[in-house]
Structure 1
Amino acid sequence: MKNYIDLTGFRCPVPLVRVKLALKALSRGEQLHVLLSDRGSRQDVPLFLKKQGYDVKEVCNDAQVLAILITK
């Protein structure tokens, strides 16, 4: 089962900090499923992760939520 965190109740920069902490606990190859709703986080989190070399796949992107799957 994938690791999962729902950050829809948080505003930037909290989601980015929580994603960083969650990724530290994962082993290489493990995945983290993240839900984001804050406009700033929806832009900043995937951009940061891609710059850090993580594989980021968009699962859902609608008016309410951005769901991404991150592979460490």
Structure 2
Amino acid sequence: MLSENDLHLDLKGLKCPLPVLKARKAMSRLSTGARVSIEATDPLATIDIPHFCKEAGHRLLSQEVDGELSRFVIEKG
């Protein structure tokens, strides 16, 4: 799903609002259509990341929760 030009963010251990802030900063440097995979352990990320995507015009391609770990794939809008 991700190509070598896309980005992976390991945001495990960071608490709200850091996962969204770091995702926003990383995505600002990417071209439209680039994909970012995110791993986070903050329970609020399951709310914050989808909200961030909606507000910023990005596409949330997938969201998965496995215990304490949440994984997201976002396409930059």
TM (norm. structure 2) is 0.82
2: CA distance between counterparts of 1:33 and 1:50? 16
State the percentage of identical aligned residues. Answer: 26
SS of equivalent residue, structure 1 residue 39:
coil
Match of 2:75 in 1: 71
CA distance, structure 1, for counterparts of residue 61 and residue 12 of structure 2: 18
Deviates more, 1:38-47 or 1:10-19: 38-47
Q: Which residue of 28, 44, 48 corresponds with 2:48?
A: 44
Of 16, 25, 31 in structure 2, the residue corresponding to residue 12 of structure 1 is 16
User: Which ranges of structure 2 fall in alignment gaps of 5 or more residues?
Assistant: none
Off by >3 Å, runs of 4+ in structure 1: none
Unpaired segments ≥5 residues, structure 1: none
- Partners in 2 of 1:58 and 1:67 — Cα distance? 8
Q: CA deviation at 1:59?
A: 4.7
SS at 2:19 equivalent? helix
Question: Alignment RMSD, CA only?
Answer: 1.3
Q: Distance in 1 between matches of 2:8 and 2:52?
A: 19
> How does the TM-score come out when normalised to structure 1?
0.87
The size of the alignment, in residue pairs, is 72
